[in-house]
Amino acid sequence: MQQQPLFGNEPAAEVDTDVAQAIAFFRPVVLEIRQLSAQAFTLPERSAARAAVEEQIQDRVSGIGLRATRVGLTCDDLLAKINADLKASPPPHDYQPHGEFLRHLLDENTAAHADEAQTNREIERLQANLKRAVMRRRAADGACAGFVAGHALRGGPRA
């Protein structure tokens, strides 16, 4: 009869630290291989540029293969573990708005442009009103000056 663990939490399967370090070390290399592969597919076949990119890819894969044999795995097994680790980790934040938040930002932007246009129209209207008010004030100032100068009645003699 087997003994049951006291607390119900058995020790986790031991993780080989060499494999874990290899996975952590080669994560960025695998991402670089992906970028280089995408670049290679955009280049014409049998071109010198494509051959150079494929040589870079092969160089990085051979580095992974050397480390894989050192930790007792095949290159494909280590690549599979690295890809599984990349798939399990959350994607990096691209800081781009998505979904409803994007719609909200676009609506805010449109509303801000509309507010600016409305404010510019009101400024133009108020500037026209200001011109009329200045002309009325000047006329009133002239009338006051005339009154003070002795022109109390319109058309009448001076006081």
HEC letters along 77-133: HHHHHHHHHHHHCCCCCCCCCCHHHHHHHHHHHHHHHHHHHHHHHHHHHHHHHHHHH
pLDDT for the residue 129: 96
* pLDDT (0 to 100) of residue 88: 87
Structure letter (DSSP) for residue 151: -
Domain residues for 124? 95-159
- Summarised one tens digit per residue, pLDDT across range 11-35 is 445 668 899 999 999 999 999 999 9
Report residues of the chain scoring pLDDT below 70: 1-15, 91-94, 97, 150-159
The set of long-range contacts for 128-135, using a CB threshold of 8 Å and a minimum separation of 24, is none
Nearest to 19 by CA among 80, 62, 61: 80
pLDDT score, position 1: 42
Q: Angle formed by the axes of helices 75-88 and 48-71, to 10°?
A: 100
Q: Among 71, 88, 105, where does a domain finish?
A: 88
Total domain count for the chain? 2
d(CA 110, CA 154): 57
Q: Does the residue 7 lie in any domain?
A: no
- Whether residues 69 and 99 share a domain: the answer is no
- Claim to verify: residue 59 and residue 103 sit in the same structural domain: no
Last residue of a domain, one of 32, 59, 88: 88
Asked if residue 144 belongs to a domain, the reply is yes
Are residues 135 and 108 both part of a single domain? yes
Indicate if 45 and 99 belong to the same structural domain: no
**158 occurs within a structural domain:** yes
Residue 156 class from Cβ within 10 Å (0-12 exposed, 13-18 middle, 19+ buried)?
exposed
The predicted pLDDT at position 151 comes to 59
Residue 65 lies in a domain: yes
Nearest residue to 60 via CA among 41, 86, 92, 35: 35
* Residues 113 and 83 reside in one and the same domain: no
Say if residue 120 is in the same domain as residue 141: yes
pLDDT the model gives residue 118: 96
